[in-house]
Amino acid sequence: MSLDLFRLNGRTALVTGSSQGIGLALARGLAGAGAAIILNGRNADTLSAAAEDLRSEGHTVRTLAFDVTDHDAVRAAIDGHEAEFGPIDILVNNAGMQHRAPLEDFPPDAFDRLIQTNVASVFHVGQAMARHMIGRGRGKIVNICSVQTALARPGIAPYTATKGAVANLTKGMAADWARHGLQCNGIAPGYFETPLNAALMNDPEFNGWLTNRTPAGRWGKVEELVGACVFLSSDASSFVNGTVIYVDGGITACL
């Protein structure tokens, strides 16, 4: 059956930054499609709580605590996990952060943190995973981009720059690794109900602007990202490479 193309039974997926928000929703969605899940984060307590939630739903879950901005720690964690537990078939690079300030006053240290967390981490984790995937001749890498990959708005110029970089790094991964059997793609969420966006959601002026600006007329729910992630993680996307799927309620489709 054609639906079998979307099943992830027997596969293992690592989702970075997955103790809450979009990362946890994607992990839950991949688990629902049959994958064993590896949750990642820096806070071991939060990570353990998220893992227990998924286990209580009947999913197979492990945790792997490492700092995605630390190249050596990333390599050690992934190499160690592969050696002890076996192949990781799917990587979802979700870890990210935001900092809002006028560009003329943007703190240089905050800019550096954005670059490390949003861009360098995709390189570190992607490279560490690809070295194993290339040897097996297969693998799925899904990088979480943003509506800001294509659009900008005041106060988040450096964040916009990082998400544009993630989209182009995704293309670069496909250019280098597609010939080895890897599919490397991205998902660009619009505005979703997450802890990262709590301040915006609670701002009546911004909330009104967003719902009027978005053709769907509302914020997205994190569960609405699962379909794109399952597609890009499954055999259904076996000839899809270097592309970014916008899941944004139509905001990038119109003025």
Q: Of these residues, 159, 191, 192, 231, which one is catalytic?
A: 159
Judge whether residue 1 has pLDDT over 70. Answer: no
| Segment 153-167, tens digit of pLDDT | 999 999 999 999 999
Q: Is 159 a catalytic residue?
A: yes
Average pLDDT over residues 215-223: 97
**Residue 38, token pair as written in the block:** 């590896």
**Residue 108, token pair as written in the block:** 């240089």
Average pLDDT, the chain: 97
Place of tokens 């944004």: 248
Judge whether residue 215 has pLDDT over 70. Answer: yes
**Superfamily holding 2-193+222-245:** NAD(P)-binding Rossmann-like Domain (3.40.50.720)
Which residue, among 63, 6, 56, 64, has the nearest Cα to 35 in the 3D structure? 6
Please report, for the chain, the start and end positions of each structural domain, with discontinuous segments joined by +: 2-193+222-245
**Residue 7, token pair as written in the block:** 């099943």
